[in-house]
C-alpha cells in the first residue's frame, strides 16, 4: 500500500465538480483516506510550488491556486502515486487520454482540475505540508 497527495484545484471547486472527480478517484480503486476543503494563501501556494519558481507561469499559477478554495486529499492504494497519475491524465488536457479526470474536466494546461504527487519523496513532503498524522484516519 502506498499513499499519494492530491489537490482538487480552483477551477473544479468553482464549477462544483469535486464529487464527480472523487467518483473517478474511487472508481479507480484508490481510497480517499483524508480530505479537507481549504483556501490557500499566497505563502502556501508559493511554498507548495517553489520548484516552479523560475517558470514563466509561476505568478499566474500562484494567483490561480489562491483564487478559489481547493480540496486537499490523501489517497491510498497499491502503487497509488503512479495509479493516480494515470487517473489524472496528462498535465495538458489536450494530451490526456479518454476517461481521465483531466480529459473529462480540465479547462487548459493551468486550470487542469487536479494535482498529484510525482514521487514517493514528494508525496511524503506534500502530505505533511497539509495534514497532521492524526488527520489521516484511514
Ligand atoms: P501540477 O501538476 O499541479 O504542477 C504544476 C502546475 O503548473 C500544473 O499542474 C499546472 O496547473 C501548471 N502548469 C504546468 N505547465 C503549465 C504551463 N505550460 N502553463 C501554465 N500553467 C502550467
Full pLDDT tens readout for the chain, 138 residues:
999 999 999 999 999 999 999 999 999 999 999 999 999 999 999 999 999 999 999 999 999 999 999 999 999 999 999 999 999 999 999 999 999 999 999 999 999 999 999 999 999 999 999 999 999 999
Report pLDDT for 67. 98
Quick count: other Cβ atoms within 10 Å of Cβ 64?
A: 16
Q: How far is the CA of 82 from the centre of ligand 1 (A)?
A: 18
Catalytic residue list: 115
Grid cell listed for 68: 478559489
Report pLDDT for 129. 98
State which of 11, 48, 57 you would mutate to test the pocket of ligand 1, scoring each by most atoms of that ligand within 8 A of its C-beta: 57
Residues 113/9, Cβ–Cβ less than 8 Å: yes
- For atom 6 of ligand 1, the residue with the nearest CA is 110
Is 25 a pocket residue for ligand 1 (Cβ < 6 Å)?
Answer: no
Q: What is the pTM of this model?
A: 0.98
Supply the DSSP string of 70-107, one letter for each residue. Answer: EEEEEEEETTHHHHHHHHH--SSGGGPPTTSHHHHH--
Which atom belonging to ligand 1 lies closest to the Cα atom of 7?
3
Report pLDDT for 1. 93
Amino acid at each position: 500500500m502506498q499513499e499519494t497527495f492530491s489537490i482538487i484545484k480552483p477551477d473544479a471547486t468553482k464549477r462544483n465538480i469535486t464529487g464527480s472527480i472523487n467518483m473517478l478517484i474511487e472508481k479507480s480503486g484508490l481510497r480517499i483516506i483524508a480530505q479537507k476543503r481549504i483556501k490557500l494563501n499566497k505563502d502556501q501556494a508559493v511554498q507548495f510550488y517553489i520548484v516552479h519558481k523560475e517558470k514563466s507561469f509561476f505568478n499566474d499559477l500562484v494567483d490561480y491556486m489562491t483564487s478559489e478554495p481547493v480540496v486537499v486529499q490523501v489517497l491510498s492504494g497499491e502503487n497509488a502515486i503512479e495509479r493516480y497519475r494515470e487517473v489524472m491524465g496528462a498535465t495538458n488536457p489536450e494530451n490526456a487520454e479518454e476517461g481521465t479526470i483531466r480529459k473529462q474536466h480540465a479547462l487548459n494546461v493551468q486550470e487542469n482540475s487536479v494535482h498529484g504527487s510525482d514521487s514517493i519523496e514528494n508525496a511524503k513532503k506534500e502530505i505533511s505540508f497539509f495534514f497532521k498524522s492524526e488527520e489521516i484516519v484511514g
